[in-house]
Amino acid sequence: MLDNHIYNLLLQATEEHKSLWRIKNEYKKDAGNCEVCRMFWEKVEKNKEDLASELTELIKNHLKQ
C-alpha cells in the first residue's frame, strides 16, 4: 500500500498533466491572435512541464524505496 504522501504526489502529477494537456490543446489555440495571452500560456506550459517532471522524479524515488 502506498503512503498517503505518495498518493498525493501521484494525484498532483495527474492534475498537472491534465492541465498541461488543456494548455497545449485548447488554451493556446483559444488565445487566437492575442500575443500577450499566447505568451502567458507558453510560460504556464513551461512551468507545468517543469513541475510535472519534478513530480515524476519524486514519485520514482519514493517507489524505489
pLDDT at residue 45, as a whole number = 98
pLDDT at 65 exceeding the cut of 80: no
pLDDT surpasses 90 at 2: no
Cβ-in-10-Å burial (0-12, 13-18, 19+) of 22 comes to middle
Please give the mean pLDDT across all residues of the chain. 95
Percent of the chain with pLDDT over 70: 97
> pLDDT tens digits for 34-45?
999 999 999 999
The pLDDT of residue 19: 98
pTM (2 decimals)?
0.86
* Ranges of each domain in the chain: 33-65
